[in-house]
């Protein structure tokens, strides 16, 4: 069974940096796109960044220029490097992956457990 395991977030001060990781465990699958979402209290979940299997990336306007998404295919892991963090970045961050199990023709969505990132002075 495939699952996505996220690293722990944490409490950081404005202007500091933090890196999140999300690793897909298991075997016998191939990963297409990997993404990061976040959800702040009282707000809807939003797409933060996405990266394709060919390393094409896209970012929400609110994080563009500050966040970088990357992936290590050998480790089945996606990263989110967050620089110049702001209080409005405070949210629960979720990783997401679209993958296909060998022997099937279907791609399925998987979600990480979510990790809290708090930016406060």
CB 33 within 8 A of CB 97: yes
Cβ neighbourhood burial of 104 (10 Å; 0-12, 13-18, 19+): exposed
| pLDDT of amino acid 33 | 93
Taking the C-alpha atoms of residue 99 and residue 32, their distance in angstroms, rounded to an integer, is 5
The pLDDT tens digits of the residues spanning 15-68 come to 999 999 999 998 899 999 999 999 999 999 999 999 999 999 999 999 999 999
**pLDDT reported for residue 59:** 98
**Closest Cα partner for 66 from 119, 114, 121, 27?**
119
**pLDDT value of residue 49:** 98
State yes or no: pLDDT of 120 exceeds 90. yes
- In whole angstroms, give the CA distance from residue 54 to residue 65: 20
């Amino acid at each position: 069974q495939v699952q996505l395991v996220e690293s722990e977030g944490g409490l950081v001060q404005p202007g500091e940096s933090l890196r999140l990781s999300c690793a897909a465990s298991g075997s016998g699958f191939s990963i297409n796109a990997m993404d990061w979402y976040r959800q702040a209290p009282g707000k809807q979940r939003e797409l933060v960044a996405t990266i394709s299997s060919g390393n094409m990336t896209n970012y929400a306007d609110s994080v563009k220029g500050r966040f970088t998404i990357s992936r290590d295919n050998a480790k089945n892991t996606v990263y989110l490097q967050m620089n110049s963090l702001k209080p409005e970045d405070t949210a629960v961050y979720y990783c997401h992956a679209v993958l296909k199990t060998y022997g099937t023709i279907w791609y399925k969505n998987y979600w990480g457990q979510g990790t809290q990132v708090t930016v406060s002075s």
